[in-house]
Amino acid sequence: MLKFIAKRFVSYVAMLFIAMTLVYFVASWFLNPRSNYLSMRPAPPEAAIDSSLDYANINDKVPIISRYWHWLQDVVLHWDWGFSPQGEGINNQLWERAWVSLQVVGPPVVFAILIGVALGVYTAIRQYRAADRAWSVVSAFFWVMPNFIAALLVVLGYLWFHAKTDMQLFYVTGAGGSDPITYLQHLALPWLALTLAVYGTYHFTQRSYLLETLNADYVRTARAKGLPKNVAIRRHALRPSLIPTAFQVAFVLVSLVTGAILVEFIFAIQGAGSYFLETISDNDINGTVGVAFLAAVTTCAGLLLADIVVAMIDPRVRLS
């Protein structure tokens, strides 16, 4: 199993390297940091502009291959992600914003998995009954809803509740707090919005594949030998049905990271999503590549986590 995970890890690192190289070239071609200075009135001297751009390693007069090699050396050898066109260091902003986004996105992933898988099992056992139909309608409603719409509904719902009861249970803007209670009050609404927008994926995936395994020959044989339905599901049907669900982790992580951009904007949270919008508007090549790196690492981490879960669930993977 360790050999299997090691091979996967190496392949994801190679994929991450290729992806970041492409992102760097695309960002360098499309973003024009020189225009930030040319739009100033009066415009700075060209020599001063070149000096500032050289300091950040984003001077378009320097061949892109040279800039890329310099950037790659700084990242690999010194973990230095460079500077913005204004000369501000990327590292401090990037990792601070990443930590904020991790706090916003991380718990909803766990909540969505637990709720979605539990509902998938619950409704699969009760196929076509009232509970199955009711939960399927509710989950489908939130499943097709974009993250930012779910966030707006949560905000509007809480504001209506606050107007009716005059109770200040949560905060609509900001993240974190000086104590655990304030911390939860700030993040409860974003967590709820993202959980509602994501759990339906796990619900329907788990329900579909559990229904498929319930009709498998080995499960029907176990039932025919007198094994109770709940025991047959737990011992024989549930484990193989979790394999496709595990692979959903990576894709849900990506959708949460990208969708959290607007969610952070709605709740006025200064995370990686809002930072990404700032880097684009400021023609910040290094900052844009840094945020793209966070998204790529999230994807690879989700894929590796899915591989580990599948290896734990499926003995064939461990034996191979």
Report the amino acid identity of residue 64.
Answer: I
> Rounded to whole angstroms, how far apart are CA atoms 104 and 208?
29
User: How many residues comprise the chain?
Assistant: 320
Query: Cα(291)–Cα(287) distance, rounded to whole angstroms?
Result: 6
Q: Which residues contact 167 (CB under 8 A, 6 or more apart)?
A: 161
DSSP letters of 25-94? HHHHHH--THHHHHTSSSPPPHHHHHHHHHHHT--TTS-HHHHHHHHHHHHHHH----B-TTS-BHHHHH
Q: Is the C-alpha dihedral spanning 173, 175, 176, 180 positive or negative?
A: positive
pTM: 0.83
Tokens 């009050």 map to which residue?
A: 185
- Of the candidates 284, 314, 313, which has an alpha carbon nearest to the alpha carbon of residue 81? 284
Q: What are the tens digits of pLDDT across the range 273-298?
A: 888 888 999 999 999 999 999 888 88
Check residue 156 and give its pLDDT.
93
Question: Which two tokens mark 195?
Answer: 């959980």
Residue-level pLDDT at 238 = 79
List the domains of the chain with CATH numbers: 92-319 (1.10.3720.10)
Q: Are the C-beta atoms of residues 27 and 285 closer than 8 Å to each other?
A: yes
Q: What is the CA radius of gyration of the chain?
A: 24
Under-50 pLDDT residues of the chain: none
Question: Angle CA(222)–CA(225)–CA(226) in degrees, nearest 5?
Answer: 95
215-to-34, 124, 297 alpha-carbon distances in Å: 63, 11, 38
Query: What does the pLDDT read at residue 136?
Result: 93
Residue 240 pLDDT: 79
pLDDT number for residue 127: 85
Residue 268's pLDDT is 87
How many whole angstroms separate alpha carbon 279 and alpha carbon 44? 22
Report pLDDT digits (tens) over 31-88: 999 999 988 888 889 999 999 999 999 999 999 999 999 999 999 999 999 999 988 8
pLDDT score for 49: 92
